[in-house]
Amino acid sequence: MKQTLTRPALILPVIWLVVSLVFLLIRLVPGDPILQMLGESATPADVSALRHQYGLDRPLGVQSHPYQRSCEHSFASVVDSISKIDAKLQIQLEQR
């Protein structure tokens, strides 16, 4: 009975930890993604403008919030899709 209560309580912290680790690992990859996008012939003004557009000129803590929000939105979309599929399956099973 105790496991039934503790496991769901641990799901959110584990998901948050995984999302945070993935974010940090993506940021630790060597190289500049902006220079990869623009190429070697990019001007410093272009690089600065694109960094600002993507929010890469902000501190990592500030950058992580939109990343985590997009992961929350993706997770909510998956849960919504699963519930729609489940409803359709229930209708299909009831008709048989």
Task: State the residue range of the domain holding 90.
Answer: 2-95
Q: What does the pLDDT average to over 45-52?
A: 92
* Structural contact between residues 42 and 35, judged by C-beta atoms closer than 8 angstroms: yes
CB atoms within 10 A of CB 48: 13
Looking at the predicted structure, is the pLDDT value of residue 36 above 70?
A: yes
| Structural contact between residues 67 and 16, judged by C-beta atoms closer than 8 angstroms | no
- Find the mean pLDDT for residues 72-91: 70
Mean pLDDT of 14-21: 85
Q: What is the mean pLDDT of the chain?
A: 79
SS3 assignment for 59-80: CHHHHHHHHHHHHHHHHHHHHH
CB proximity list for 47: less than 8 A, separation 6 or greater? 34, 35, 38
| pLDDT at residue 49 in the model | 93
Mean of pLDDT values over 50-79: 77
How many structural domains does the chain have?
1
